[in-house]
Structure 1
Amino acid sequence: MSTTVFDSFLFRDMFGTPAMREVFSDTAYVRRIIDAETALARAQAEVGIIPAAAASDITLKADFDSLDLDRLRTETETVGYPVLPIVKQVADQCGDAGRYLHWGATTQDIMDTAVMLQCKQGIALLETQLGQVRDALRQLATEHIDTVTAGRTHLQHALPITFGYRCAVWLSALDRHAERLQQARDRALMVQFGGAAGTLASLGDGPEGLRTRAAFARELGLRDPSITWHVARDGLVELVSLFASVGGSLGKIAWDVMMMCSSEFGELAEPFVPGRGASSTMPQKRNPISSELMFAAAKLLRDKSSSILDATMQDFERATGPWHLEWATVPESFLLLAGSLHQAEFMLSGLEVKTDRIRENTHLCDPARYLGSAQAMTCGVTRATTGSAGE
């Protein structure tokens, strides 16, 4: 049995997607570390810190497929980080040019930059998924612009609305999240290069360090930060916190859908797939599985946002432990949101809207049905004299 749902062959596609798992796989991570090392060499050659021929050799000869992965795993457990073991093997691959590999960098420079490259790929996937969910909601809002339903406040019938209106409210939050995601991407995806204590002292006291970092950022399509962010982790906090917020908005949709799918409401049903939501003992059941998974993901994402906030409190110029929280929190957050968006797109694209039942339920709001004619009349007089229907 797997120790987490993210690795489980039974559950992994319920709490993630294959595409996002690939972005955050060990293989992809090591490749992004190599990408960062080769890009750094090219940037330093551009600035004139290392020979151009050495940068060319490093770029051409650094080869993931030639790595001894068993040795890499063993040495990573010993060192505590994978960069030094990777650098040792890649330097051997590059021959004489290998002595210029990792020039002036520290382990966290490369690991943070590799994570930023993963985040860049992951955000591109999330933006596509979010767009698909928004498209599905626009379609529902358009199709049901005239489908009158009971508005509900405090779980009681309030005034009539349309189901299209309800979908448009759901959509409005996701539209704002799409804008936030674009802004966060532009702000948070920063290259990391500062050297041992973040001061770029290993490259001298001239402008070469800052010029290298700018060239490094251009090579990788990342933002050039104003200063080293080894212990200023607000960028990753912004991303994970935003993912928790998006997950919460999806969880709100899921909650509404689940209630409207209940036998008492009977107004919606998730898309029919043979066996989907089936019960082992009750053949009449059709459980809202996608909504349940979206709801669970929202709660798990809230937990991830708490963990990433803990990771912001780091000591001096290099953390003694909070950084390690990110190694689990960041990939899992991307996976959870990708999984929730996948479930949302599936559910909303094929959602069955039972207009007859919706219309029937609107008549439940007749006060006489519950209060009796005398009480209903009193209720009507109260409304007329106060000018308010209450909440």
Structure 2
Amino acid sequence: MASTVFDSLLFRDMFGTAEMREVFSEAGLVGRYLEAEAALARAQARMGVIPEAAAKAIDDAARAIEIDYDLLRHETEIVGYPILPLVHQLSKAAGDAGRYVHWGATTQDIMDTANALQLRAALDIVRRELTELRGIMADLAIRHRDTPMAGRTHLQQALPVTFGYKVAVWLSSIDRHIERLDQALPRVLVGEFSGAAGTLASVGPDGLGMQRLFCEELGLGQPAITWHVARDGVAEAVTLLGLVTGTLGKIATDVMMMAATEFGELSEPFVPGRGASSTMPQKRNPISSELMLAAAKSVRQHVAAMLDGMIHDFERATGPWHLEWISLPESFLLTAASLANAKFMLAGLVVHEDRMRRNLDLTGGLIVAEAVMMAAAPKLGRQHAHDVVYGACRTAIEGGGQLADILAGIPEVVEALGGVEEIRAKCDPANYLGLCGEMVDRVVGTSGQAETGPRLVRAGGDL
């Protein structure tokens, strides 16, 4: 039976996706190890370091081998790392050519390169999901470009905004994450072949050429120098996931609060039974948002672990590297699940416009007191206008009633604004939305640019 949510039959699709699990599955990881070993042999054959026939035999064996996972697990527990046990099996499968397997490499060369290959596949999934989510959010922002609602600061009604504006603020972060991802790729998708202490001493003066061909075989960048103990690239990848899930957690928090009974402005998509309570038939809990928030909090912890894991000792670490084995796959699984939940939730989000309007009117016009003050300021002066409107607000708060009615009884305000009808217009929240619509247009109008940015590339073409 599974012992974590990531492998659980019950929970695994709440904390990961099948596609991302495949990237970080055991078979997938071992496959990347074999891919790196085969690429090394091909590169060395191109340089004449090993016979071409040997490279072909190694490549064929790496593609056809049936791994004895019980033996691999047993020997990995003894050695502490899986590469030497895997090399034993690959060498045996390659026959006479087996003597050339892993020529000049060290364990971390193969493991780091395999991780770079995993990162390429995983980041491609993340980028695709971000792009699809951006499209969903752009449609939502356009649809509700002019839907007025209460903007809130410190959990209090502040000024009117539009729901499209709120969505566009979320969307702007998604665009920046895609930009960050594209910019990070050259730093993250880098191969590793440097030998025991990173000096390439084991392969002689043409080591950098061999390294270049090795990386070329895999479609990865060539590092300027070994990164065995310089883990900023891998840490950057997970930190990026922390930013992505942080944004999704913010969205989830807004949606959950706006879906609360007392707000009633949003509802997650209705699916029979989803979010149901075992005792309260009326419940419709925001399950997708809850999972998004949980993912954000969990990935944040992994970001801290990855940053801690950057502190390696000398030319080969004595433990920090192992943190990556835990944090890297779990961070990507959680991020994939959060993105999937965000797509589902936002694509079917139910927006209760009538409730948004009702909530806008809860304060009887107090939410637009600033609008009246600024409109009266040219005639009354800014400070006097503030004092007069402030007094009207106190009257409304203490005695109830509509702010417009109270202001209509103040002659100097009526004169300053040009009549009672103008007062009522200024007290309508829908007339004080600032540049919400224009800002939505700016975000949505530029959101498609990131889609034409750099793509992840591997040997053989685009992913």
1:199 to 2:199 alignment:
yes
Q: Distance in 2 between matches of 1:283 and 1:8?
A: 28
1:290 alignment partner in structure 2 = 288
Q: 1:142 matched to which residue of 2? A: 142
How many angstroms apart in 2 are the aligned matches of 1:158 and 1:35?
Answer: 57
Q: 1:54 to 1:245 in 2, by over 3 A?
A: same
Give the residue type in structure 2 aligned to 1:74. Answer: H
> 8 Å contact 2:291–2:341 — kept in the other structure?
yes
Q: Deviations over 1:175-221 (max 9, x none)?
A: 000110111122211101110110000011x1x11011111111111
Give 1:25 deviation, angstroms. Answer: 0.4
Aligned residue runs from structure 1 range 76-225, under 5 A: 76-204=76-204, 206=205, 208-225=206-223
1:372 equivalent to 2:399? Answer yes
Summarize the Cα distance change of 1:271–1:374 in structure 2 as closer, same or farther, 3 Å threshold: closer
Q: Secondary structure at the match of 1:33?
A: helix
Post-superposition CA distance 1:106-143 (Å, at most 9, x none): 00000111111111110111111111111111010010
What amino acid sits opposite 1:215 in the alignment?
A: L
Query: Deviation at 1:303?
Result: 0.2
Structure 1 Cα separation of the partners of residues 259 and 294 of structure 2: 17
1:56 is aligned to 2:66: no
Structure 1 contact 15–335 (Cα < 8 Å) conserved: yes
Q: Which residue of 1 aligns with 2:350?
A: 352
Pairwise CA distance, 1:50: 1.3
Q: CA deviation at 1:97?
A: 0.9
Q: Deviations over 1:226-252 (max 9, x none)?
A: 000000000011011110011111100
Q: Is this contact kept in 2: 1:63–1:90, CA < 8 A?
A: no
- Whole-Å separation in 2 of the counterparts to 1:11 and 1:65: 32
Q: Tell me the TM-score normalized by structure 1.
A: 0.94
Residue 278 of structure 1, CA deviation:
0.3
Asked if 2 retains the 8 angstrom alpha-carbon contact of 1:41 and 1:58, the reply is: yes
Q: 2: CA distance between counterparts of 1:68 and 1:8?
A: 24
8 Å contact 1:31–1:64 — kept in the other structure? no
Structure 1 Cα separation of the partners of residues 82 and 94 of structure 2: 18
Residue in structure 1 matched with residue 380 of structure 2 by the alignment? none
Q: Calculate the aligned-residue CA RMSD, in Å.
A: 1.9
Which residue is 1:273 aligned to? 271
1:14-55 Cα offsets, whole Å, 9 max, x none, are: 111010001000000001000000001111111221111211
More deviation in 54-63 or 301-310? Answer: 54-63
List aligned pairs for 1:67-78, cutoff 5 A: 67-78=67-78
CA distance in structure 1 between the aligned counterparts of 2:43 and 2:332, rounded to whole angstroms:
30
Structure 1 consecutive aligned stretches of length 4 or more whose deviation exceeds 3 Å: 367-371, 373-378
- Residue 63 of structure 1 and its aligned partner are, at CA, apart by 4.0
Map of 2:375 onto structure 1 = none
Letter in 2 for 1:18: A
Measured in 1, the distance between the counterparts of 2:128 and 2:63 equals 31
State the Cα distance separating 1:374 from its structure 2 match. 9.5
Task: For structure 1, list consecutive stretches of 5 or more residues without a partner in the other structure.
Answer: 386-391
Q: CA deviation at 1:159?
A: 1.4
Match of residue 388 from structure 1: none
Please say if residues 65 and 90 of structure 2, whose CA atoms lie closer than 8 Å, have aligned partners that are also in contact.
no
- What letter is aligned with 2:318? T
Deviation at 1:370, TM superposition (A): 3.6
Residue from 215, 230, 237 that aligns with 2:235: 237
1:2–1:8 CA contact under 8 A, matched in 2: yes
User: In structure 2, what residue type is equivalent to 1:372?
Assistant: G
Shift of residue 345 of structure 1? 0.3
Structure 2-normalised TM-score? 0.80
The structure that has the greater radius of gyration is 2
The answer to whether the Cα contact below 8 Å between 2:65 and 2:93 also exists between their aligned partners in 1 is no
**Post-superposition offset of 1:78:** 0.9
- SS at the partner of 1:62? helix
Cα deviation, residue 166, structure 1: 0.5
Identity %, equivalent residues: 60
1: CA distance, partners of 2:339 / 2:65: 33
Q: C-alpha displacement at 1:373, in angstroms?
A: 5.6
Residues in 1 aligned to 2:303 and 2:349: alpha-carbon distance in whole angstroms:
30
Aligned to 1:304: 302
- Please, which moves more after superposition, 126-135 or 163-172? 126-135
Q: How far apart are the structure 2 equivalents of 1:216 and 1:55?
A: 13
Cα pair distance change 1:108/1:201, threshold 3 Å: same
Q: Distance in 2 between matches of 1:12 and 1:179?
A: 29
1:54-89 deviation line (CA, Å, top 9, x unaligned):
111111122454221211111111111110111111
Match of 1:20 in 2: 20
- Find the aligned partners of 1:292 and 1:274 in 2 and give their Cα distance: 18
